[in-house]
Structure 1
Amino acid sequence: MGDLTQKKKVSIMVAIMVAMFFSAINQTIVGTAMPRIIAILGGMDHYTWVITIYMLTSTIATVLVGKLSDIYGRKPFILAGIVFFMIGAFLSGFSKDIFQMITYRGIQGLGAGIIMSSAFTAVGDIFTPRERGKWMGVMMAVFSFSSVLGPPLGGWLVDNLDWKWLFWIFLPLGIVAFVMILMLFPKVERKESEKIDYLGSLFLSLMIIATLLGFSWAGTKYDWGSVEILGLFSAAIVFLGIFILVERKAKSPVLPLSLFRNDIVTISNSIGFIMNAGMMGALIYLPFFVQGVEGISPTYSGYVTMPMSIAMLAVSAITGSLITKTGKYKRFAIIGMPIMIAGMVIMAYMNSVWMAVVAMIVFGIGLGTGMPVFSITVQNAVSPAQLGVATASSQLFRNMGGTIGIAVMGTIMQSSLVKNMKSLTASAGADLTKIDPKTAEQLAAFNSPQLLLDHPKLEQMKQTLPPDIQPVVTQLVDTLREALSSSLTTVFLAGAAVTLVAFILTLFLREIPLRTSNKMPQEEAKPSNSSEVSSVKS
């Protein structure tokens, strides 16, 4: 797409950003309200699966579409991604239980993976590595804006309307995005010499599924040392081995092993994996503190997370411009990641809404400074022919890290919560021995932390009990909040520790100049026509 005018490039980027905003806003609008939705549908034990299935399907879609879009072009896949996402969102609103919600969120994840993989790669098609810094910053700003608008809007909707509208309200925007991509995005001819690597795609998908299921079920549905979990991890290793053998012989591998001989690609992907494991694993539990511990309604819970998005929006745009201006990127990762870690440490010890706001601002500044870097490093280190698959590999490792982080942090959260509940109940629990059996049975329902996330139900249960029992109810609820708060401290500290490992790895990232064209240096040095060849000879 190097022959496009600047006006056409900007028009295409507007279409891409509308598609990305459609995907992102549907995530952020649901995030704050999801604890309430899960409380309504039931199935607190399966809370992480609503997020895990989304990450699982988006991960598989991302890596498969990366190579396919190198062959067929980005346009058909962005269109297909929008369609899948709209179907998943529409069906999610009809969920009758947690298992239907998980299924439909899986369809949404499939669409999101296709959209994101194609969109980020398309930026590489249109702009040179030096120019991409600015546009990556703009794309981060799109995510930030959706994060500003989504949480408070989602909270207001779930407090004032049926939760189904969370999934339906932005469906018309999906139609707009589809039409814009259809009309503006140029069609690319298929590369006839390229063949689809069906066998490699199969074993890569099986490896991803076995790995993520193993981490998702370990410590929750099954013990870490159970036959089921060990079997899944063993299967993942076997599938990985077969995948490597297949890729060595494939003419057009779905994920070329040669990519990982490039130290910049390998280190960048490793950082993305570890960073997302710590970040995503911890951040999904922030609404638990705001709504569960502090007792803030979903409407106002969104306002607590808004400062992070505003800070990220402003800083990511500035960072992207500075990367384009200076041609340097490593310094921004080295500055940003310690700030992210500091934000997570503040989250671990926050004891008020105002501390949560401070933590969000600090974390947002770090996120906006460091996050735009690692997509640029990977794209700058590979040839244009590998742009799609390289970008997909970057998102694969990020998604894998995020999914595994969510699963591991979920295990930490559950085990810590059980331990804290036992400890607090034993030391400061309410004495129910002197209360009549019927009332004691009603009070037993107040031992579920899930109750803290559904304020209307909690108030309704309180009102069914006589006034003389209210002090006992207050004591039980306080015990729940203390146990939840202590468990969240453990989760946030674990996330900060994991992110620290990613920061250390960043110090070893090799920085090379950002190219000012879409050709590799060796390609630019080659004569482009016969006259140049003859002049070189003479």
Structure 2
Amino acid sequence: MTNLTEKRKITIMIAIITAMFFSAINQTIIGVAMPRIIAKLGGMDYYSWAITIYLLTSTVASVLVGKLSDIYGRKPFILAGIGLFSIGALLSGFSGDIFQLITFRAIQGAGAGIIMSTAFTAMGDLYEPRERAKWTGVMSAVFGVSSVAGPLLGGYIVDHLDWHWVFWIFLPIGVVAFLLILFNFPQVEKRKGESVDYWGSIFLTTTIVPMLLAFSWAGEGANKYAWGSWQILSLLAITAVSLLIFIWVETKVKTPMLPLGLFKNSIFTVSNLIGFFLNAGMMGAIIYVPFFVQGVKGISPTMAGYVTMPMSIAMLVTSALSGQIITKTGKYKKMAISGLLVMTLGMVLMYFMVPSTPIYLLVLYMIILGLGMGIAMPVFSLTVQNAVAPQQLGVATATSQLFRNLGGTIGIAVMGSVMSAGIASKMSKLSGTMGQGAASAPTDPALAEKLALFANPQNLLDQPKIEAALHSLPPESQAMFTHMLDLIREAMSYAITTTFLTGAIVAGFAVVLALFLKEIPLRSGSGKAEKKNEAKAEQHSDAAGTEGARA
């Protein structure tokens, strides 16, 4: 498709970006609205399933569609993704109970996974890597825009409109994206001599699903299982067995869905490992930023959105700029290392935050984190696509998405365990002080009741509940209650900043890996030079199916 006119390419890219925005904004808008939706539908015990099922279906769909789109072309799959996502969103708005919502969110997740996988691959079909860099930055910026607009809009909708509109408000954008793709995206013929790897698809699914479930369900708290429980160990055992069978199948079939030879390509392997650690550190850490802002600093959810917004804006700006710089220079290694270093620095600085840290410093540290993420995130999809033959773009891009999704899921689970352990450790150290404080007011059962309630640090996220509890106490007990809350906030601050340090250590692994990332010329479509660069990419790709590649 690189022979299309530039006008046609830009029209198709607008359609792809529209589809991506449609998927991304629907994902971010749900987060802040979900508690209100659950309050309306009921089924709090199944709350986590509404999140988990979306993650499961999107991850599985994104990796399964990779090889299929290499065989049949991108157009039918990106249309199917938009269609599934739109149907899932429409039905989610009609949900009458939590079980219907979970079912329809599963449909949404499958559509989102297909959109994300095929969108980045389709861009690779349209542009050579050097030109592709600027579009990679723009597409990454879409996530920055959605992460800023989504939570603010979601909060407004549930406060001023019916919750159903959270799912319905952007459906017209989905229709526009569908029509733009339908009438502008060229259809390619099925690649001859290749077949669908059904057994590989089955065993890859039975590898991914139990792994994600294990890391989603493990930990402490409601509806969680201990890491050493039979439920978690069984899921991990199924994962291990399925992985071994999957590897065996892929060495036997004619057309493997994930050619294992790709991993002989050091750029492909290192880039995916970096993507794994980058997302593990990033997602595992920044998910707890709102906990610090609301729980430790006591800022309302509405204002917290404005406090965290600069981080998203910084990520948006640098992701777009880094793409432009890579396009002009044709170099990516220094950009990758610098972005990861800045991201790691941001998390290290956040580790030193305490309850008394001024808001402006908190915002500054988050901006540094956002700058680093914006520089680093667009690089590694580009390096993967540049290192493989053109007919392997689909499976390579889908594998890159898989590693990132696994990194994010595992990172969130590990950071959750780190946070729980940190709170327990700090609370035990403070228990003596708290016990002395409680002993000084033994005749006030109301104070004892309030202290028992807020001994659970999660209740610090409900600022109205704190204010109501404070005002319900007599003046002589309010000072004691405030003192006890300060101690609990200290424990929560310690636990959250420990997750930032853990995230920084994980990101540090990504920095080390980036030092070993080989840098080959970005293909630019310039005649003989292009053919030479194309050949270099194929030399780095020892996977099956590269023999017939030509520039």
TM-score, normalisation: structure 2: 0.87
Counterpart check, 1:222 vs 2:232: no
CA contact (8 A) 2:389 2:537 kept: no
1:464-479 to 2 correspondence within 5 Å?
A: 464-479=472-487
Q: What is the aligned counterpart of 1:235 among 238, 243, 251?
A: 238
CA contact (8 A) 2:389 2:534 kept: no
In 2, the alpha carbon distance for the partners of 1:364 and 1:127 equals 27
Superimposed CA distance per residue, residues 244-303 of structure 1 (whole angstroms, 9 cap, x where no aligned partner): 111111111111111111111011111111111111111111111112222222222111
Counterpart check, 1:509 vs 2:517: yes
Aligned length: 525
Give the match's secondary structure for 2:438. coil
Q: Bigger shift: 154-163 or 178-187?
A: 154-163
Distance change (3 Å), C-alpha of 1:53 and 1:328: same
CA contact (8 A) 1:48 1:407 kept: no
Counterpart check, 1:279 vs 2:282: yes
Aligned-residue offset at 1:120:
0.1
In 2, the alpha carbon distance for the partners of 1:501 and 1:114 equals 29
In 1, the alpha carbon distance for the partners of 2:445 and 2:204 equals 56
In 2, the alpha carbon distance for the partners of 1:464 and 1:97 equals 35
Q: What is the aligned counterpart of 2:453 among 438, 445, 459?
A: 445
In 1, the alpha carbon distance for the partners of 2:431 and 2:41 equals 27
1:474-493 to 2 correspondence within 5 Å?
A: 474-493=482-501
Counterpart check, 1:372 vs 2:387: no
Match of 2:266 in 1: 263
1:50-449 to 2 correspondence within 5 Å?
A: 51-93=51-93, 104-161=104-161, 164-220=164-220, 221-350=224-353, 351-428=357-434, 430-431=437-438, 434-435=442-443, 437=445, 440-441=448-449, 443-449=451-457
Aligned-residue offset at 1:116:
0.4
In 2, the alpha carbon distance for the partners of 1:459 and 1:44 equals 24
Superimposed CA distance per residue, residues 165-196 of structure 1 (whole angstroms, 9 cap, x where no aligned partner): 43333233222222222222222222243211
Distance change (3 Å), C-alpha of 1:169 and 1:272: same
Q: Bigger shift: 191-200 or 89-98?
A: 89-98
Q: Bigger shift: 271-280 or 140-149?
A: 140-149
In 2, the alpha carbon distance for the partners of 1:89 and 1:348 equals 38
Q: Bigger shift: 401-410 or 142-151?
A: 142-151
CA RMSD in angstroms comes to 2.9
Superimposed CA distance per residue, residues 364-396 of structure 1 (whole angstroms, 9 cap, x where no aligned partner): 211121111111111111111111001101111
Distance change (3 Å), C-alpha of 1:438 and 1:322: closer
In 2, the alpha carbon distance for the partners of 1:452 and 1:40 equals 23
Give the match's secondary structure for 1:510. coil
In 1, the alpha carbon distance for the partners of 2:171 and 2:42 equals 26
In 2, the alpha carbon distance for the partners of 1:96 and 1:7 equals 45
Distance change (3 Å), C-alpha of 1:370 and 1:439: closer
Superimposed CA distance per residue, residues 337-357 of structure 1 (whole angstroms, 9 cap, x where no aligned partner): 110001111222232322221
In 2, the alpha carbon distance for the partners of 1:425 and 1:434 equals 16
Aligned-residue offset at 1:440:
3.9
Give the match's secondary structure for 1:251. coil
Q: Bigger shift: 303-312 or 388-397?
A: 303-312
CA contact (8 A) 2:438 2:448 kept: no
Distance change (3 Å), C-alpha of 1:473 and 1:182: farther
Give the match's secondary structure for 1:249. coil
In 1, the alpha carbon distance for the partners of 2:534 and 2:73 equals 24
Q: Bigger shift: 13-22 or 349-358?
A: 349-358
Distance change (3 Å), C-alpha of 1:47 and 1:344: farther
Superimposed CA distance per residue, residues 41-98 of structure 1 (whole angstroms, 9 cap, x where no aligned partner): 8999987765544333221111101111112221222222223323444455566887
In 1, the alpha carbon distance for the partners of 2:316 and 2:149 equals 12
In 2, the alpha carbon distance for the partners of 1:48 and 1:343 equals 29
Counterpart check, 1:521 vs 2:530: no
CA contact (8 A) 1:70 1:389 kept: yes
Amino acid at match of 2:73: G
In 2, the alpha carbon distance for the partners of 1:260 and 1:507 equals 18
Superimposed CA distance per residue, residues 227-252 of structure 1 (whole angstroms, 9 cap, x where no aligned partner): 33222222211111100111111111
CA contact (8 A) 1:156 1:299 kept: no
Superimposed CA distance per residue, residues 6-31 of structure 1 (whole angstroms, 9 cap, x where no aligned partner): 10000000000011111111233344
Amino acid at match of 1:121: T
Q: Bigger shift: 348-357 or 328-337?
A: 348-357
Give the match's secondary structure for 1:244. helix
Amino acid at match of 1:236: T
Q: What is the aligned counterpart of 1:498 among 501, 506, 517?
A: 506
Superimposed CA distance per residue, residues 299-336 of structure 1 (whole angstroms, 9 cap, x where no aligned partner): 22111222122222222222111111111111100111
In 2, the alpha carbon distance for the partners of 1:177 and 1:281 equals 32
CA contact (8 A) 2:277 2:506 kept: yes
Distance change (3 Å), C-alpha of 1:157 and 1:468: farther
Amino acid at match of 1:168: W
In 1, the alpha carbon distance for the partners of 2:46 and 2:362 equals 26
In 2, the alpha carbon distance for the partners of 1:106 and 1:59 equals 11
Amino acid at match of 1:318: L
Match of 1:530 in 2: none
Distance change (3 Å), C-alpha of 1:171 and 1:348: farther
In 2, the alpha carbon distance for the partners of 1:91 and 1:497 equals 42
In 1, the alpha carbon distance for the partners of 2:413 and 2:400 equals 20
Q: Bigger shift: 429-438 or 82-91?
A: 429-438
Give the match's secondary structure for 1:372. helix
Aligned-residue offset at 1:112:
1.5
Aligned-residue offset at 1:500:
0.3
In 2, the alpha carbon distance for the partners of 1:149 and 1:170 equals 12
Q: Bigger shift: 211-220 or 330-339?
A: 211-220
In 2, the alpha carbon distance for the partners of 1:75 and 1:209 equals 27
Give the match's secondary structure for 2:191. coil
CA contact (8 A) 1:36 1:454 kept: no
Superimposed CA distance per residue, residues 375-430 of structure 1 (whole angstroms, 9 cap, x where no aligned partner): 11111111111110011011111111111111111111222223333433432354
CA contact (8 A) 1:36 1:453 kept: no
| Amino-acid identity (%) | 62
In 2, the alpha carbon distance for the partners of 1:70 and 1:210 equals 27
Give the match's secondary structure for 2:251. helix
Aligned-residue offset at 1:524:
11
CA contact (8 A) 1:49 1:216 kept: no
What stretches of structure 1 of length at least 5 have no aligned partner? 526-538
Distance change (3 Å), C-alpha of 1:483 and 1:208: same
Match of 1:16 in 2: 16
In 2, the alpha carbon distance for the partners of 1:120 and 1:370 equals 16
Amino acid at match of 1:309: S
Amino acid at match of 2:112: A
